[in-house]
Amino acid sequence: MPEQPPKKKDFWDIIQALGPAIIAATVGLVGGMYNHQQAQLTKASEMREVYTKIMTERESSDNAIRAKMFEMLFNAMFAKGAGAAAGDTDDFGLLKQRVMFLDVLSRNFDTVDIRPLFEDLDSELTKLIYSDNLHTPRERGQYFGMRSELRRIGKNLSLKQLNALASLPGTIVRRIIILQDKDGGLQAMSDDAGGNTAEDPIPIEVKAEGIQDGMVEVSLEYKKAKASDQGFKAPAFMITFYDLPYIDNSVIDKDMRVGVVLTKHVSTSDLERFRDQLDRKEIKDYEDLRDGGITQYAELRIIKFPAKYTGHRDRPYLSEILEDLVEGSGANNLKASPAR
């Protein structure tokens, strides 16, 4: 019987023969990839733990240093005259030291409410500046320069906070100019061209109620509330250079907070009295305002930012926390807290 020629193996025969080897290679490859992935996850987890530990220790160390510094500054400040008797308040060296203390505090503790310390010293300096019968013109000029420095410190602190809040999504900042003419008339003007339209990004009308040295009284009229309530009375506020938008803000509506800061004040009556304490640009500004019949000029910044932002002295209500948790769990994603 003739021999049968060997049957030629087809593709499936080859696959069947190599099957165990392919399976073993696949299992090895998948196992290797899995092990590599687990190693990467473990490494990433370890890196996160190290980073968290470093940041926690750094924050703890920084807080400890700041707390110690805060204690030392306050002890030194009150020991050397912050609580001195009124008769000692015209000590120029002591007053200068208090200004320096407040400058250091504002640079290192910008979230601490130190407004009362600023306003108390500002009030003392103002009395000394205009005490014509008690001090020489030169001394009063020195006090005027010192108060200008104090107000610069307060303004820088408020603008620092204002700029930080301005980075929040949905935040709008507008400049308001307050003018008082020689007849005592007051006028408030906004540099926002769309301020009187239905699409006003800040639906707040700022009205000037009064202005004096370094203080401006304004009322904030919420247009929506006025439209729905004819008896609506706009709240009034006294604004100084030491208002801090982190702290001194108001919830106007469920989705809106508003803060106002004073960034400039000029009283043209000071031009001749304290000309030596002003630089050329300031003198030019004073003269332009005086020649235009303006006796007092002020610039404000009004900022509107999300109401959900929790300030440094605010505590969210329990109902709000529970509402966020319920909404977040339904969407499998908790709401992220706004930047601070």
Q: What is the pLDDT of residue 174?
A: 92
Supply the DSSP symbol for 248: S
Q: What is the pLDDT of residue 242?
A: 94
Inside any domain, residue 75: yes
Q: For the segment 175-193, what is each residue's pLDDT rounded down to a tens digit?
A: 999 999 999 899 998 876 4
C-beta separation of 293 from 181 below 8 A: yes
Q: What is the pLDDT of residue 58?
A: 66
Instruction: Enumerate residue ranges in the chain where pLDDT < 50.
Output: 1, 81-87, 193-198, 331-340
Q: What is the pLDDT of residue 83?
A: 44
Inside any domain, residue 232: yes
Residue partners of 74: CB distance under 8 A and separation at least 6: none
Number of other CB atoms surrounding residue 203 within 10 Å: 20
Q: What is the pLDDT of residue 332?
A: 46
Inside any domain, residue 32: no
Distance CA 103, CA 5 (A): 103
- Phi/psi class of residue 212: alpha, beta or left (left: φ > 0; alpha: ψ in -120 to 50)? beta
Q: What is the pLDDT of residue 310?
A: 64
Q: Which domain holds residue 97?
A: 63-305
Inside any domain, residue 319: no
Q: What is the pLDDT of residue 295?
A: 93
Inside any domain, residue 35: no
Helix (H) or strand (E) holding 56: helix 11-77
Q: What is the pLDDT of residue 217?
A: 93
Number of domains in the chain: 1
Residue with tokens 């998948």: 30
Q: What is the pLDDT of residue 86?
A: 40
Q: What is the pLDDT of residue 340?
A: 37
Q: What is the pLDDT of residue 110?
A: 75
Q: What is the pLDDT of residue 198?
A: 46
